[in-house]
Amino acid sequence: MSTTATTPDRFTTLPDEAALDATVVALEEHGFSVEVVGDLDAARQAVLARIPEGSSVMTNTSVTLAQAGIADAINDGGGPWESARNRMFALDFATQAQDMKAIGGQADYALGSVHAVTWDGTLVIASASGSPTLAGPAGCRWPTAPNRRACTVARVASSLPLMPLGKPR
């Protein structure tokens, strides 16, 4: 017995310009700086450009970060950032679990993805571990201007779906 429901095209069709524009406005009203880009390469460039050299960066597990090459850019050691993920996983879980939690939750910047963006600017995250939701409340900055969060939306088929919750403005 399958527990997966399929809804043809509902979550795979890219939004039209009016829906995207309304969502950008709604995200900005929620305190996000928003940059809409055309593809995953542009998304990678936009995200990495927001992170100052020398910053410690935690890359949360994310298919989007992997597909865009963002996780590799941070974690492969060739860039000007310190990978909190690499520091964390260099420790022994059996004896240094608390240190691992501190490193993962106290990086200068945390990168991850959300599962959907609603038309009214709500970000939807579903997680078995809760790890994508920890860095913000723990005081981690998002890669943008002080006291603002960033949202880079790549207009590709595997990007964030716009969920039909709320009405477009």
What's the pLDDT at 164? 39
Q: Is residue 91 a part of any domain in this protein? A: yes
Q: Is residue 73 a part of any domain in this protein? A: yes
Q: Is residue 11 a part of any domain in this protein? A: no
52: Cβ contacts below 8 Å, ≥ 6 apart: none
Domain hosting 35: range is 17-163
- Whether the predicted pLDDT of 52 surpasses 70: yes
What's the pLDDT at 2? 54
Q: Is residue 23 a part of any domain in this protein? A: yes
133 or 126, greater pLDDT: 126
Within a 10 A sphere around the Cβ of 143, how many other Cβ atoms?
Answer: 21
Give the tens place of pLDDT for each residue, 64-110: 899 999 999 999 988 899 999 999 999 999 999 899 988 888 888 88
Radius of gyration of the chain (CA): 17
Q: Is residue 87 a part of any domain in this protein? A: yes
**Number of domain units in the chain:** 1
Q: How far is CA 52 from CA 4, 78, 144, in A?
A: 42, 15, 10
The model's pTM: 0.72
Q: Is residue 118 a part of any domain in this protein? A: yes
- Amino acid at site 154: A
